Amino acid sequence: ARAEKAPTAPPPELRNMFRRGEWETVRGKPWSVMTPGQMRDKIEREAREEVAKKVNEYSRTLKAKKEKTKELTPTMAYGNMTPLNAAEERRAFLAAWDAYKKGERDSLPRDPQFVYADEEAARLRMSEWGAPRDDLLDHATRIMNAKRERYGDEGSYEKAAWGGDTIGVSDLEDTIKEYLIDHGIEKNVTIEWHDSLATPSMTMSLGRRKAHGVLHMPSKASTGGFFRREWIQALLDHEIGTHFACAINDAHASEYVRGTFNTASHWALRGRNVTPREHLVTEEGLATLNTHMSAKVKLLWGPALAYWTRWMGTQLGFSSLFEALEPYVPELSRRWQQCYRCKRGLSDTSEKKSLAKDQCYLEGAWRLLEGRKHLDFKLLHSGRIALEEYPDAKSAWLRFTHASVSKGVFTMTPHFLREPGKYAAHLEEIAVENGVEA
């Protein structure tokens, strides 16, 4: 006998057995080989497989995006906030500015539009430092006006502060290596040269009892091949003598200074209830003061300019800010750099927002100078310590330095702290020059 042909769809009278939306899914499916329960299991399994497929596709897409972002992101400090098209936007902006000043165009240049490897990451990194402040705006303006009255153009100030003696790239590398050897860290820091880098920067990788730094330097192609000798000393005291010293000391000694000698101590239990910005303010303040040790002019002109510019960036877009800076920074490339550092992190630089990070230089230096007669500056270089946690750090540091274990722990003492009296006199000179009362 001929076998009966199996039905190709569930009978219409069984429609009520299915959940909403399932009926259309099963129509046209072979029915006679499945029970309703089996059919439901099949539908649910296919739905799970579809979800898993989409999750896998999303994961692959996300992984590819991360790899592409990593490939595009510049390998320098704050690389995720470095625009990929900064050079092109700079050329276009300065050409338009030249035309504007010559009367060949009526309006200010278009505000630069920056492109990042990851736009969202750039904006998030920008927000880490909070909004710019105006607490020291009057002091910043006073310092800027004092510099302008005394030295006029930028070149006169640079020569007065850093002298006229210059060195080339090869001599510079030798100077850096000598500095590293003097501090016993020649194996901990490497130097990388960049054709497109405008200013030096430092990146670090840290671990338990180890630290490695990379000093990123502008090459001959981006500097003209010469550096002021005194400025190089200031750079090394800033990047190596301050930032790397704090980092490597923190890597080696932090487990002791965080309350290891008494695990029930207030310092250990409380944790470190300070923000990244508070740490940055203290460390960049130290770096600012140490930078000015080599300067023949102790006026905090650069930090004051950065503070003022970041606040004004919350009131103005890029082009308007560039115009407002003209009386203080007549040299075009330097003025571009100030506005660029102010607006980096933004895609549309017409936004009245700023990266607040660079306000930390003046803010930190000011707070440290106000407390200069009461602070232990060797302690502040012994790790990454914010002023907000100074009292607890002080007591922990005293326990550490009087314990036998401290003899086996590496610590780096910057050369300028080897004579405490001389360092105190240096701080006093800066404070008097800038009108900071203790």
154 pLDDT more than 90: no
Indicate left, alpha or beta for 21 from its phi (over 0: left) and psi (-120 to 50: alpha): left
325-334 pLDDT tens trace: 999 999 999 9
For 25-29, 384-388, 413-417, which range has the lowest pLDDT when averaged over its residues? 25-29
Position 98 in a domain: no
**pLDDT value of position 73:** 60
266 pLDDT more than 50: no
Position 234 in a domain: yes
Domain region containing 232: 120-166+228-315+352-434
Q: What is the DSSP string of 251-290?
A: HHHHHIIIIIT-TTSHHHHH-----HHHHHHHHHHHHHHH
Position 414 in a domain: yes
**pLDDT value of position 1:** 46
| Rounded mean pLDDT, 172-191 | 94
**pLDDT value of position 379:** 92
What's the Cα-to-Cα distance from 358 to each of 6, 90, 132, 142, 280, rounded to whole Å? 77, 21, 9, 18, 10
Going by their DSSP bridges, the two strands 189-194 and 210-218 should be labelled as: parallel
**pLDDT value of position 264:** 39
Give the C-alpha separation, 315 to 345, whole Å. 17
Q: What is the DSSP string of 213-228?
A: EEEEEE-HHHH-SEEE
70 pLDDT more than 70: no
Give the C-alpha separation, 189 to 174, whole Å. 14
Position 2 in a domain: no
For 33-47, 136-150, 311-325, which range has the lowest pLDDT when averaged over its residues? 33-47
Q: Which of 414, 396, 416 is nearest to 406 (CA)?
A: 396
Give the C-alpha separation, 345 to 358, whole Å. 13
354-381 pLDDT tens trace: 999 999 999 999 999 999 999 999 999 9
Q: Which of 372, 367, 340 is nearest to 281 (CA)?
A: 367
> Given pLDDT bands bounded at 50, 70 and 90, which one contains residue 262?
very low
> Given pLDDT bands bounded at 50, 70 and 90, which one contains residue 103?
very high
26-56 pLDDT tens trace: 666 655 556 667 777 878 888 888 888 888 8
| Rounded mean pLDDT, 280-303 | 95
Going by their DSSP bridges, the two strands 226-228 and 166-168 should be labelled as: antiparallel
| pTM of the predicted structure, to 2 decimals | 0.78
Position 36 in a domain: no
**pLDDT value of position 426:** 96
**pLDDT value of position 144:** 96
Per the CB < 8 A criterion, the answer to whether 344 and 355 are in contact is yes
Position 180 in a domain: no
287 pLDDT more than 60: yes
Q: What is the DSSP string of 360-391?
A: HHHHHHHHHHHTTTT--HHHHTSSS--GGGHH
223-234 pLDDT tens trace: 555 688 888 999
257 pLDDT more than 90: no
For 28-32, 118-122, 192-196, 232-236, which range has the lowest pLDDT when averaged over its residues? 28-32
What's the Cα-to-Cα distance from 132 to each of 137, 319, 360, 367, rounded to whole Å? 11, 19, 10, 17
Q: Which residue has the higher pLDDT, 200 or 77?
A: 200
Q: Which residue has the higher pLDDT, 41 or 290?
A: 290
The SS3 of residue 358 is helix
Most confident of 170-174, 180-184, 201-205: 180-184
Q: Which neighbouring-strand residues pair with 113?
A: 348
Domain count, the chain: 1
| Rounded mean pLDDT, 259-276 | 50
Percent of the chain beyond pLDDT 90? 50
